[in-house]
A and B are shown apart, each in its own frame.
Chain A
């Protein structure tokens, strides 16, 4: 509760500073609109904004699910087979040298202006952090547990199922938190490159038409969406891993 109050105070303080800057610097509203203008726009164009926000939300959530699935499978494959480690791991590392933003136009070319190219962007951007985090977690099982499991006659599968897997869940959780934070970036970049809907698309068009207040309204929704998503993932992870001592979050 205290954390929520602190967040609210910080938010109010930022709004005040913003309003004061606009007032005193006498900035024209098409350069930097004041918070009251943005709020008015949020309300008057709520239907339009909601439509585009839902589109972006769908892209982000789909990308998050798909990216997590691929990341978990890749980590398991790396864990399960030496061949995968030899062939897939270098490929994965080198693939990170290619900026995802650079291939965004190609994705639009191949997958079209619709949702698929944005989901692919979000998936690509999430895939690596999830794979790396989960694989790392799987590899770092306490050697004492491995010894114990060996004397108990564990097979590689039961070891993964009952010890390595559960032990790696906190690491996977850390990867998922990162993924939740970067997934909206992927979707929005995809929308910038070529789209007919979504908050990124809306921002681009509003800026071009000097409707800066609409840009800010869309930006505000995007930030809200990202924070909500992160909080949701965090909540789900806490529920799923009740045995983990609470060592992160805003409290404390």
Chain B
């Protein structure tokens, strides 16, 4: 079993997006789009800004109402709602709550009270992200990288089979981003992950497969499948080669 996956969690289902259509302010961003994320796999979605990556992610998360024929299904046929954890570029930590309470906020939002078992689990996750000694601090006392690690612990605490991430590390410096990406890939192993990013190298290091969304209306490239299992070392020669290919693909649609 991969490390980080809870033995009690149900198996993570695949995500199938069919006939996705998005029209914003009279402009069709994409229409008839198909996308599959294999069960328990980490999929990275790249694309120029404004192409609709984030909206696609929001569609899957149920945060944007689907338009037209759009169908979004789980591989096991059960509804997606309630099986998704969300992580965004902003850490979205509540400034008035301690690190520990931030990790457990989901329990309170579902109308419950964190019991000792929940506390134990949250403390364990904070230890895994290396913040065991900061559990009582308020978010303002933490660095940007630490705050995003708390957000990662909060995402893991939700213990959902599907995790959607919208440029979760893009506000961080290069080194912090590298470390946090590896941490996330390790801890999220076994879950179905769809991550939007604008960093080709990040996508290649973390994803089982990398998809590129380009054009207007946008279409998806054939998936790129880097060698071995993620997280991959940043100095792998194949990654550099693939990065060149990805950049060329991204630049193709943008024009001169």
Distance to closest chain B CB from A176 (angstroms): 17
Q: Is A155 part of the contact surface with B, judged by Cβ < 8 Å?
A: yes
> Is A30 an interface residue when CB atoms closer than 8 A count as contact?
no
Nearest CB of A to B193, in Å:
14
How many interface residues does chain B have, given as a range? 20 to 34
Query: In the complex where A163-B94, A166-B94, A243-B96 touch, is A152 in contact with B88 (Cβ < 8 A)?
Result: no
Max chain A Cβ within 10 angstroms of own Cβ: one of B58, B82, B105, B158: B105
Task: Output the least CB separation between A245 and chain B (Å).
Answer: 7
CB distance from A154 to the nearest CB of B (A): 4
The answer to whether A245 and B105 have CB atoms under 8 Å apart is: no
Chain A: interface secondary structure? helix
- Size bracket, chain A contacts: 20 to 34
Contacts of B105 in A (CB 8 A): 152, 162
Quick one: which of B63, B82, B92, B164 contacts A145, CB cutoff 8 A? B92
Residues of chain B contacted by A149 (CB below 8 angstroms): 109
Write the nearest CB–CB distance from B216 to chain A, whole angstroms.
25
Residue B47 at the chain A interface, CB threshold 8 Å? no
Interface centre among A148, A159, A241 (most CB of B within 10 A): A148
Tell me if A147 and B63 are in contact (CB < 8 A).
yes
**Distance in Å: Cβ of A206 to nearest Cβ of chain B:** 48
Is A82 close to B, CB under 8 A?
A: no
Residues from chain B with a CB closer than 8 A to the CB of A169 are 96
| Chain A residues within CB distance 8 Å of chain B | 142, 144-145, 147-155, 157-159, 161-163, 166-167, 169, 241, 243-245
Give 7 closest A-B pairs by Cβ, nearest first. Answer: A154-B109, A151-B86, A152-B106, A243-B96, A152-B109, A243-B95, A158-B109
